[in-house]
Amino acid sequence: MPKVKNGFTLIEVMVVLIIIGIVTTFAVLAIGDAGQGRRIQAFASKLTHTIQLAQEQAILQHTVIGLQFSSNGYQFYRYDKSQQKNQWQPLTTSSLFAFQKTPDYIELNIKIDEKTILPTDVLGKLSSPTIVLSSNGNITPFILKLGKRDELPLYQISGKFSGQVNFSQVQTAGNGQ
């Protein structure tokens, strides 16, 4: 009776490992950039929802809330008119409104009245925020474009005076829309 071999030879195992390595390499190369694109989309979506939530808070609490962008993040403020202060104070009622760092690979481009607004590096005491959310639901009209650093923007958040805040993908000739 012939002897039955159980198992695989070293050559067979090495061929399978090489095939798995090649397939994994192609999968990582195909997904690599899309992962960052999804993270930018998630960041833009979160920022949109946070602006809408701050807008609702301004209406419910009959207060004025501001949003200020810096070169490395953004911060929400509340206009404090108590005790003759009349100044913008950082909004600390929720961690959502506390300072949020913008990932290094994301670039923000803010336009108000067709003028590009440069982010300030001064957060804390503030004379006037970039975007104001009023207690009656009105907001400063704005267009905020987000994308990878040194590339065309991928997403846009826009706000209208009436209080409508929209999130959309930027339409360019390159993305077929």
Superfamily of 10-175 according to CATH: minor pseudopilin epsh domain (3.55.40.10)
pLDDT digits (tens, 9 = 90+) for 90-145: 888 788 898 899 998 899 899 998 888 877 655 555 678 889 999 999 999 999 99
Cβ burial 82-113 (10 Å sphere, 16+ → b, else e): eeeeeebebbeeeeebebbebeeebebebeee
Query: What pLDDT does 51 receive?
Result: 95
Residue spans of beta strands (DSSP E) within 3-135: 65-70, 73-80, 87-90, 100-101, 106-112, 115-117, 131-133
Residues in a beta bridge with 165: 159
pLDDT digits (tens, 9 = 90+) for 10-68: 888 888 899 998 888 877 776 665 678 888 999 999 999 999 999 999 999 999 999 99
pTM of this structure: 0.75
Residue spans per domain, the chain? 10-175
